[in-house]
Each structure stands twice: as structure tokens, then as C-alpha cells.
Structure 1
Amino acid sequence: MAGYKHGVYTHEVPTSIIPPVSSIAGLTVVFGTSPINLTDPSNVNKAVLAYTYKEAVQKMGYSEDFDNYTISEAISSHFGLFAVSPLVMVNVLDPEKHKKSGTANLNVIDGEAVLKKEGVLTDSLVVKNEDGTTTYEKTDYDHEFDDDGHLHIFIDAAEKIQVEFNQLDPSMVTTSDIIGGVSLDGGSKGLEVLNEVFPRFRLVPGIVIAPKYSCDPAVTAVLKAKATNVNGVFKAIAITDIPTDEVKDYTAVPEYKNQKNLDSPDLIVCWPKVSLGGKQYHMSTQLASLANKTDGANEGIPYKSPSNKNLQMDACVLKDGTEITLGLEQANYLNGQGIVTALNWIGGWRAWGNRTSCYPGNTDPKDAFIPVRRMFIYEQNQVILTYWQKVDEPGNRKLIETVIDSKNIDLNGKAARGFILGGRVEFREEENPLTGLMDGTYTFHVFITPPTPARELKWLFEFDPSYFDTLFG
């Protein structure tokens, strides 16, 4: 209780305008496999954040074998080809579960032997003499991995040694490993780890991918479900691929999309794969990186489409390496079926397509256009981050005015910079019935119009005879 006061005193009151909290619209979370034997074998079903190529490799390892180590594909695309960051990686390759044993006879040259196998788990390594009668102590030799993931063993021994080892076996990873779930001890696995990203890093997932594995419709079904309900409040967008070993002709792509129920406003579907210098990438991987790059050039606001922006590629390919050449009419046909592809047209190889997978069944612009959908998701996530601090505050006129004024200032600023055409927030009496207010529910109505992508520029040409007058001065 305040005592007797005599003099001048000051007090602070909360600012009536709340600065908006930004979410990283394109924060990419990739699920897949990684050569964690090169770094930390315990990085299994954990969300790992990296801001640089070096950091990503140090935490998750790296291999040029993208088919077996799909997270390396995302590292290469994100940090190497597009120079964007950060990236959240979730490896499901478990050295306790996905492994196989092996043996080898190695030549020792100048005290060094090389085991040309990827994925070797060094804690399982046993080194013996040539005939296998003597086992060397671990203090008798050193070892390290080279850039190819091969193990070099340094030992003062005869000309040959025998080695026994366990190694990662990515081929044992199944659909269920990617889908994951919650274990009996409460731990999350696979796609369930998506809910751990925000609590750990205070970053909201924006794009979710699972290169190679999302070619399985079962994975895509869970992928899009998880993306639309992150932590029960946030939303993200999923990008997936149609398998090019199964669907080899562009005319069969829409049928596959429909049969497998690849239809959602929060899902982008891609076909085929892309290649750069003979190295294949899933288009979902490069499109996620391209979206990040496009956002980064626009203050992190996802109002611009990644379509008609350059991919890092020199060919469209099937999984077996067969090149696919799509003309403008063929690429547009895929776009009209809600599929993103690549087109070598004016300006080189570019992503081509503005539609989410719900198109053409759903033509609502907030659902069917990629940048408009991402803007709606971005704004919803931003509202949650900004106004969470007002939850459980007294529901009086001051609260309502603070929320309305703050959000309207934010929307007016975005309109002035061209991020949206306009927007406003209202607190409507008809949307706030007495029973809802009595129960503590306050409903704010946001009107927002992001610009739709100018997917078609029409020009009307007309012959005007009046200009013949210029012939007579």
C-alpha cells in the first residue's frame, strides 16, 4: 500500500500503439536424411537451425549423394545456389535403427589406410591385423573423414589391415520414419518435430519440404496437414514433388495430382526435377530457396511470386536423367492444372507457375494464387505474434482501440510500400454477440487485398487511319 506522498511523482503507461512482430515468411524446414556420422550422430529427430553453409555442414554433415542424403540437397540449394538463410533441418536417419555392418581389407600406405565407404559409424570401428588375429586398441590409431565422407585410418602397422564397422543405411528409411509421430516417452519424431521449431528458436516455419520423400502421397498428406496447423495456431505452406520415375509425361501429371488428392491452398505441387551440371535437385527444394530469395529482396514480405524468377539449373529431367523439354503451351497447361514447373524462355531457366494445388477446383484468389496465399498466412502469423501479449487483458474500449489503431497503422504502411493494395481492421457489433463477449471472445475483422500476380498482360492493337493526316503536314 502506498504511503503518504508529498512532491512530484511519475508513472509509466503502456504505449497505445503496438509495434508489429514480424515472422520470417519463408523460413524453410526440411525433413530428410543426413550423414550425421560426420558430425553428431545424436542429431536424430531434432530441429537444427543454421544460418551459414559452414554451420549447416558442421551440424548435419554433407554429402554429394543427394539421393541418399536429402538434407544435403537442401543445404546445397539454400546456402550454395541461392545464398539465403536460415534453414531448419530435421534428420530422421537413425544410426541405431538404419544401419548395416561391413568388413574390408585395406592397404596401409605410409601409415594411412582409406575406407571408401560413406556413413561409417566410428564408434563401431574395429581394426585388426592382416590375418585378423590381433585387434588394435583405439589408442593405436587415429582416424578422420575426408570431403567425400570416406574414413582415413592412420596407423603404424603392416601393409594390410582388416576393419569391421557399422554404417548408415539411408535405404532403410521408410515413409513412416518421415511421417513420424509421438513416442511413448513423449518425444517427437519425423514431421511431428515441426511443432518444436517455434518453441526452440522463436521462429515461425513458413515453408515445409521433404525432398524425395514427399513424392510419396502419404508423406504429402501429412506434410500439408502439419503445415496448416503448426503449434495449433500458426500456418505454413508445403511444397512437394510429383515422382518423375512414375510420371514421365507432362500430360499424365494432372491425372496423378487428382488421383493422389494433391489439392490444398497450402500445398504447392512441382514437376519435374531440375538439374545443374548433371546434379539433380527436386524442384521443391529449389523453389523453397527461390521463394526465400524473393522474400529477402522485398523486406521479407512474401507479396511477390517466385514465378518467372531464375532457378539454378540447366535442364529439366526425370529421375533417370532423361531431359524434358517443355514449351510455353505445355508449361501453361501444367500451370492451369495447379502445377508449378520450369520454363526455358526469355531470361533463361525460370520457375513457372503462380497457382497452389487447389487450382482449378478452387479459384478464390486468397487460396489459388501462391503470393496471395502466402500473404494471408504471413498476416495471420504476424497477428498471432503481435497480439498474443494482449491475451487476458481487460476487454474494454481501450483494448479494442489499441488493437484496431495498431493494426491499421501496420496495414497502411504496407499499402504505402505496395505490399498490399489496401487493408483495414474493424470491430463489428454483429460479429461480437453479447454471449461471446460475456464468454471473453472478441472478434476483429481484417480486410486485406494483396496484389494478384499479373500472370497475363494483354495488349490491344488497333489500326488508326487518322494518322494518315501526318502525310499532309
Structure 2
Amino acid sequence: MSFQHGVYGSEVPTSVLTPVEVNAGLPVVFGTAPINLASTQEYVNKPVLVYSYHEAEQALGYSDDWEKYTLCEFMDSHFSKFNMAPVVFVNVLDPKTHKTTETDKSIPHANKVSKINEEGILLDSLVVKLSEAGQPLVKGTDYIASFDENGKVVITAVEGGDIPGTQTSLVVSYDKLDPEAVTTTDIIGGVDGSTGEYTGLELINQVFPLFRMVPGQILAPGWSQDPVVAAVIKAKSSNINGVFRAISVVDLDSSSEGADHYTKAPAWKNDNNYTDPLQIPCWPKVKLGDKVFHLSTQVAGVICKTDADHDDIPYVSPSNKNLQANAVVTESGAEVSLGLDQANYLNSQGIVTALNFTGGYKLWGNHTAAYPAITDVKDSFIAVRRMFNWINNTLILTYFENVDDPTNRRLIDSVVDSVNLWLNGLTARGALLGGRVAFLSEENPTSDLLAGIVRFHLYLASPIPAQAIQFTLEYDVSYLNTLFAAA
């Protein structure tokens, strides 16, 4: 220590830590996108964080053909219908492998303009000739190629180029996206043994390292009705980066091969193992105008909007909150009209649905997929399960900086005091009924302390949805005496 003469000051870290904010409902969505329409084809098996419809369209492209391009459904719903952000998208449609080739196709040419009446064309692969035997024309010199508002390629002759004004047809060759070549294997993904590259659902572990945001919901609309995909999503949601937890919002198959009637849905759910506390199973689909949405897509929007209305604390159930829908349909498009008793039957089997009872179509159901087999409140109620996830994720991020600190009273008191202050604040806001943390000797044996393991025990209770409000009506005969009261 250097020689000192005088008065000096120093600082120590604040003993009470401020909790790190966690995005409770951040959706991470897997599927396919018309990547040929994007400003770059960079986002193939690579997570992209977007905050607006425009950003999503620039990064991934957009098409109204949601059967082929499943991510576009979520873009439309989340940004246009619910006005929520952000979202992490993962597109698995790879233009290098999921493509077909068209060779020497003749198309009409009139008034210096031609149109290729197909979607999915990879513009960089386009070759334009005057005839099959002709030489390729030069892009930018002889013609300009661009996409119209419907994703079709328009070829315009350049003045002074080699396309004669009298030309009536052009011959084109190109590659185009083949979204039908994408399979559940691509959605599930894996790790390349030689390159170490991650694909599909394995990329969930890259979300936090890339964006410093913890996934709150994992979805794959259009794919999650496949039990194998749902099983992998379930596995990923319970162990993100080895420490975090999220919920998986999945759809039950509402086709004739699955459950096209509400009475079939519970059996299909159980037979295909949609039974995990971290799953929210949805049945069937919803419709707004001429657009049909997987219910999981709109559930994500409802969850995010509900969280946003309550300071991003997920203690309020998404049930009985408005959907953006004016009909309920099955996979075939047949309309479904559920009464309260029928919707409650689905709820009693751990399935959320859509109900048009009062105030328009609303999401209906409080229970996770684990119900009714599991009735533990933290695993059976969606709102309670999400609160446990959120508290777990928040504690991990807040106290990760204390890992490897000396195990002494200062560390223990700092954690206990900080967590108790935080829990008291949540209680005061109504997000918890109560909560406390304790450092218990019986949970910290000497052998664990010698191994550097320190355990804190949290006791907490989050509000349970008031899903059944009952009134008892009784005729009180004493009020007959009012008939004899003086006028």
C-alpha cells in the first residue's frame, strides 16, 4: 500500500441488489419464411430479434400464404392484431437446400414487361434469354428484375438493351423456394457434428447469448400439432441454457385425423403426451375475416398484452382476455360454436380454447397441460406456473454476479435482504400474496458448504385466478314486512 497522509474515501458494492429485468413473455417462434423476399438471406437457422412488422418483413420477407410460410401468420397476428413487440424468429427454410429448379420456361412479354407467375423465386438465380438457344441477357443492362407486391418477379426491359420492342416472349430459368420440402426434422433441428452449427429448435439456447433476453414462450405454429415437435419444444422449454425456463404454447390437431370435435380433444391430448406443466395446449383455430390463425399464435399475443398491462409481471391469467377473432374453426375450416359448458369441459382437461360468451371472442382456460393429472397449484395454473418461471429466471440473472464470491455472512445477508425487499415489493403491487427467503441450516449441510454449494429457500404464493365466482341467492321473507310500512 502506498504512503498516505490525510483523509481518504472508498466504496463498497451496495448490499441490496436491484433485480435484473426479464421479459416475461418473450416469444421465440420457429417456422418457415419467404426468405427470397427479404433484404438479405442471412436469417436461415439464425435467430433474429425484431420490434416491428417492417423489421420482420425486411429480415424474413412476408407472404399471405401462411400454409407455406408459417412465420408470416405470427408476424401478422403479433404486430398487426395485438401490437406487441419484440419477437425472436427462427426461419428454418434454407434456400440452398429447400428449392426446386425451373429451366427454359417461356413467359409472355408485352409493353416491355414480363411477369413470372410464381412465388418463391430466388432472384439471384434468375437467367433471362430471348430464346432457348439464345445467350443470357445481362441484368441491369438489358433488363431489371424485381418483386411486385404479391411476391411475383417482374422483368422490365431496359431502354437501349438487347430486348427488342417487338419481343413477345422471354425464356427464363430460376430456382425457387420449396417450403413443402421442409419437414419436422428441420424444425426439430440438431447440431452438426463436423461444423458445430445449430439448427431448428436447438437454436433456443442462442437467444440469450445473442440478445441478453430470456425466452418466455416457445412456439411453432403450423408444426406444434405434431407430437414429436411438441415433445422437443417441451424438452427445450424446461432447460434453456441449462438454467432458464419458459412455457411452450402448442396446438392440438383439429383435423379429421386428430380431434375435429371438442369431445375428441382430451383423448388426443393425452394419447399424444401433451401433458407437461410447461405446456399450454390450444384447440382449435380462430378466424378473423378470411384469415385463419392457429390458436397458439393468438395465445402468445394475449399473454404478451396481458403482461404489458401489468408491468411485465406474469401474475395475471390470460384467460377471459380478448382474442382478435370472429369465429372458431377446425383444420378443415368448419366453424365450431362452443357453449360455456363445452368450453369448460375442455378447460377441465387442461386445454385452452376460444369462447364467445360476453364481450366477443375470448381466450378461455387457466390450466396447463398437466391438469387434471397434476393438481399442484404451481404446475396446474398457467399464471402461477409462469410466475414461478419468471421468479426463477430473474433470480438467476440477478445473482449470477455473486457466483464464486466468498461464502460468508455478508453474502448470505445480501441475498436474503435483497430478495426479501423484492418479494415485499411484488406483494405490495398485488403480484404476490406473500413471499420470503430463508437460509436454513438443515438445507445447507457441512458437506455441501465445503463443496461450495449454498442454498436459499423461497416461500411464495402468487394469486390464483378466480375462475369460479359463485353467488348464493335466498328469498328473505322478512322483506314482506315492507308491504305494511307506512306510505
TM-score range, shorter chain: over 0.9
Q: TM-score, normalised by structure 1?
A: 0.98
Alignment-derived partner of residue 58 in structure 2: 58
Alignment-derived partner of residue 183 in structure 1: 192
Alignment-derived partner of residue 270 in structure 1: 282
Distance 1:165 1:78 in 2: 34
Alignment-derived partner of residue 211 in structure 1: 221
Distance 1:336 1:389 in 2: 43
Alignment-derived partner of residue 92 in structure 1: 92
Alignment-derived partner of residue 114 in structure 2: 113
Alignment-derived partner of residue 366 in structure 1: 378
Distance 1:427 1:196 in 2: 33
Query: Are the equivalent residues in 2 in contact too, given 1:268–1:357 (CA < 8 A)?
Result: yes
Distance 1:138 1:417 in 2: 63
Distance 2:175 2:89 in 1: 24
Q: Report deviation, 1:131.
A: 4.7
Alignment-derived partner of residue 417 in structure 1: 429
Alignment-derived partner of residue 74 in structure 2: 74
| 1:192 corresponds to 2:202 | yes
Alignment-derived partner of residue 441 in structure 1: 453
Query: Are the equivalent residues in 2 in contact too, given 1:99–1:169 (CA < 8 A)?
Result: yes
Distance 1:146 1:446 in 2: 58
**Match for residue 315 of structure 1 among 307, 327, 332:** 327
Alignment-derived partner of residue 458 in structure 1: 470
Alignment-derived partner of residue 226 in structure 1: 236
Q: Report deviation, 1:123.
A: 1.5
Q: Report deviation, 1:263.
A: 0.5
Query: Are the equivalent residues in 2 in contact too, given 1:356–1:370 (CA < 8 A)?
Result: yes
CA displacement 1:336-376 (0-9 Å, x = unmatched): 00001101110110111111000000011100000110000
Distance 2:481 2:416 in 1: 59
**Residue 301 of structure 2: SS of its match in structure 1?**
helix
| 1:126 corresponds to 2:154 | no
Distance 2:117 2:317 in 1: 44
Query: Are the equivalent residues in 1 in contact too, given 2:260–2:331 (CA < 8 A)?
Result: no
CA displacement 1:244-273 (0-9 Å, x = unmatched): 222211111111111101100000100101
Distance 1:202 1:71 in 2: 23
| Deviates most, 392-401 or 132-141 | 132-141
Alignment-derived partner of residue 201 in structure 1: 211
Alignment-derived partner of residue 43 in structure 2: 43
Distance 1:42 1:14 in 2: 43
Alignment-derived partner of residue 83 in structure 1: 83
Distance 1:442 1:418 in 2: 30
Query: Are the equivalent residues in 2 in contact too, given 1:132–1:162 (CA < 8 A)?
Result: no
| Deviates most, 99-108 or 440-449 | 99-108
Q: 4+ residue runs of structure 1 moved beyond 4 angstroms?
A: none
Q: Report deviation, 1:8.
A: 1.1
Distance 1:445 1:456 in 2: 32
Amino acid at match of 2:401: Q
Q: Report deviation, 1:390.
A: 0.6
| Deviates most, 110-119 or 437-446 | 110-119
Alignment-derived partner of residue 236 in structure 1: 246
- Structure 1 segment 147-158 matched on structure 2, within 5 A: 147-156=149-158, 157=163, 158=167
**Match for residue 356 of structure 1 among 354, 368, 388:** 368
Amino acid at match of 1:199: P
**Residue 213 of structure 1: SS of its match in structure 2?**
coil
Distance 1:18 1:110 in 2: 70
Query: Are the equivalent residues in 1 in contact too, given 2:49–2:89 (CA < 8 A)?
Result: yes
Q: TM-score, normalised by structure 2?
A: 0.95
Q: Report deviation, 1:278.
A: 1.6
Q: Tell me the matched-pair count.
A: 472
Distance 1:22 1:336 in 2: 34
Distance 1:304 1:68 in 2: 35
Distance 1:472 1:438 in 2: 83
CA displacement 1:21-55 (0-9 Å, x = unmatched): 11101000000000011112231110000011111
Amino acid at match of 2:357: W
Q: Report deviation, 1:132.
A: 4.3
Distance 2:70 2:12 in 1: 52
Alignment-derived partner of residue 166 in structure 1: 175
Q: Report deviation, 1:148.
A: 1.2
Alignment-derived partner of residue 387 in structure 1: 399
CA displacement 1:399-432 (0-9 Å, x = unmatched): 1111011011111111111111111111111111
Query: Are the equivalent residues in 1 in contact too, given 2:139–2:145 (CA < 8 A)?
Result: no
Distance 2:365 2:149 in 1: 37
Distance 1:370 1:200 in 2: 28
Stretches of structure 2 that go unaligned for 5 or more consecutive residues are none
**Match for residue 440 of structure 2 among 428, 443, 453:** 428
**Residue 123 of structure 2: SS of its match in structure 1?**
strand
Amino acid at match of 1:201: F
Distance 1:102 1:294 in 2: 48
Query: Are the equivalent residues in 1 in contact too, given 2:98–2:177 (CA < 8 A)?
Result: yes
